[in-house]
Structure 1
Amino acid sequence: MKIGILQTGLLPDSLSARWGQYADIFARHLEARGFETAAWSVVEGAFPDGPQAADGWLITGSKHGAYEDHDWIPPLEALIRDIRDSGRPLVGVCFGHQIIAQALGGRVEKYEGGWAVGAHTYDFRDGPKTINAWHQDQVIAVPDGAEIVATNPFCAYAALLYADRIYSVQAHPEFDDDFTQALIDERGPGIVPDALLEGARAKLGTPTDRAAIWDQFERFFREGRLT
């Protein structure tokens, strides 16, 4: 099964030298589970011909806001709707979670409660799961028909399911502790309040359930179900 990765952000050289770009990080996880991958850097204007270019799709995170005025956002929203209409499975992570909701009639804003960074625990249907987060924007109104799959007091719409064909999560199952620490050290200062960065640093080493979310993604792509 071929998964098309839609890259919506770029890592700085200091991080990409070690991990590659976002598409590379996701490709490693997907290929380790037996998927074939192809990537399009939509943030740089590279788009597939249409939903038929892959069997399933994944949209990455980004430093950009879904509500910002970028030339690549309207065609990405149109592609999301085309993928939905094609019946192919689509997964979104962080920005991917947000842009899917916006494209399908929801609303995304810079959250008045501020940032979520580091390990956070979310109430999923099958129990609590701890995942690394890094975001200030949130989905604040869900599209019609979207089911809430996960929530916590800080992020009401932490995971959404759309008719068993689209699944999205706000947190980052692709972020391990090393990557999260690099974000704390290199991306956070001057942007994220120091107290939040130190709180996230203190939680490094907390066991996470990122593998369980990847299990969800695999089942969703292959079987159209989460559990």
Structure 2
Amino acid sequence: MLIGILQCGHFPDELQAESGDYGALYQSFLDGQGFDFAVYPVVDGVFPEGPEACDGWLISGSKFGAYEDLPWIPPLEDLIRAIRDSGRPLVGICFGHQIIAQALGGKVEKWPGGWNVGPQTYHFAEGDAELTAWHQDQVTQVPPGARVLASSDHCANAALAYGDRIYSIQPHPEFNAREIAGLIRTRGGALPDNLKAEATAKMHTPLANRAEADKIAAHFRKVHA
């Protein structure tokens, strides 16, 4: 099964020697699931010919806002709707979660409560899961027909499903302690000191990344079958 990664940003240059760019991060996250991958850096204007180019799609995180006036945002929203209409499975993570919601009729805004950074507890129907957050923007209005699958104390719409073919989550299950430490070091200037200290103190909290990878892989396989 070929998974197309729609890369909406670049991981900081200083961190790529260890973690790789976003395309590599998601391939590592889904390593061992039996998938092949194709990376399309849509942030640089590189798009697939259409939904049929891959069997399933994953939209990455980004430092940009879904609501920003950027030339690659409208064609990405068009592609999201085309993927939906094609019936192919789609997964969005962080920015991907937000841009899917925006493309399908929801709203994304900066959360008045500020940043969410580091391990957070997310409440799913099947139980709580610790996953890593790095965001200020959130889905504040859920698109028509979408179902809320998870929330946290600081994020009401932390996971969404659209029918049985689209699944998206706000946290970063591809991030471990190394990535959060690096982001605090390279992009933490906008964060309050107390938030950085709290995230650093919780950095080595056991995470549910592997369970989330298994869930996403199962989603791809179920829809593709």
Same fold by TM-score greater than 0.5: yes
Aligned to 2:146: 146
Q: How far off is 1:17 after superposition? A: 2.0
Aligned to 2:193: 194
Aligned to 2:204: 205
Q: How far off is 1:165 after superposition? A: 0.5
Q: How far off is 1:32 after superposition? A: 2.3
Asked whether the equivalents of residues 12 and 186 of structure 2 are also in contact (C-alpha less than 8 Å), the reply is no
TM-score normalised by the chain length of structure 1: 0.97
SS at match of 2:155: coil
Distance in 1 separating the partners of 2:11 and 2:208: 24
SS at match of 2:74: helix
1:198 is aligned with what amino acid? A
SS at match of 2:212: helix
Counterparts of 1:1-227 in structure 2, within 5 Å, are 1-188=1-188, 190-224=189-223
Asked whether the equivalents of residues 30 and 37 of structure 1 are also in contact (C-alpha less than 8 Å), the reply is no
Distance in 2 separating the partners of 1:175 and 1:121: 15
TM-score normalised by the chain length of structure 2: 0.97
Instruction: Summarize deviations over 1:145-196 as a string: whole Å, max 9, x none.
Output: 00000012210000000001000000000001111111122211x2111110
Asked whether the equivalents of residues 4 and 40 of structure 1 are also in contact (C-alpha less than 8 Å), the reply is yes
Q: How far off is 1:210 after superposition? A: 1.1
Distance in 1 separating the partners of 2:198 and 2:31: 33
Q: How far off is 1:212 after superposition? A: 1.1
2:28 is aligned with what amino acid? R
2:209 is aligned with what amino acid? R
Distance in 1 separating the partners of 2:86 and 2:52: 8
SS at match of 1:88: coil
Instruction: Summarize deviations over 1:111-162 as a string: whole Å, max 9, x none.
Output: 1110000000010010000001100000000000000000122100000000
Q: How far off is 1:224 after superposition? A: 3.6
Distance in 1 separating the partners of 2:41 and 2:48: 10
Any stretches of 5+ residues in structure 1 without a counterpart? Answer: none
SS at match of 1:99: helix
Instruction: Summarize deviations over 1:52-89 as a string: whole Å, max 9, x none.
Output: 00000000000000000000000000000000000000
Distance in 1 separating the partners of 2:223 and 2:199: 34
Distance in 1 separating the partners of 2:31 and 2:81: 26
Asked whether the equivalents of residues 122 and 151 of structure 2 are also in contact (C-alpha less than 8 Å), the reply is yes
More displaced 10-residue stretch of structure 1: 204-213 or 23-32: 23-32
1:48 is aligned with what amino acid? P
Q: How far off is 1:20 after superposition? A: 1.5
The one of the two structures with greater contact order (alpha-carbon pairs below 8 A, sep at least 6) is 2
More displaced 10-residue stretch of structure 1: 80-89 or 176-185: 176-185
SS at match of 1:156: strand
Asked whether the equivalents of residues 57 and 91 of structure 1 are also in contact (C-alpha less than 8 Å), the reply is yes
When the two chains are superposed, the root-mean-square deviation of aligned CA atoms in Å is 1.1
Any stretches of 5+ residues in structure 2 without a counterpart? Answer: none
Distance in 2 separating the partners of 1:219 and 1:33: 9
Q: Percent identity?
A: 57
Q: How far off is 1:28 after superposition? A: 2.2
2:212 is aligned with what amino acid? I
SS at match of 2:194: helix
2:219 is aligned with what amino acid? F
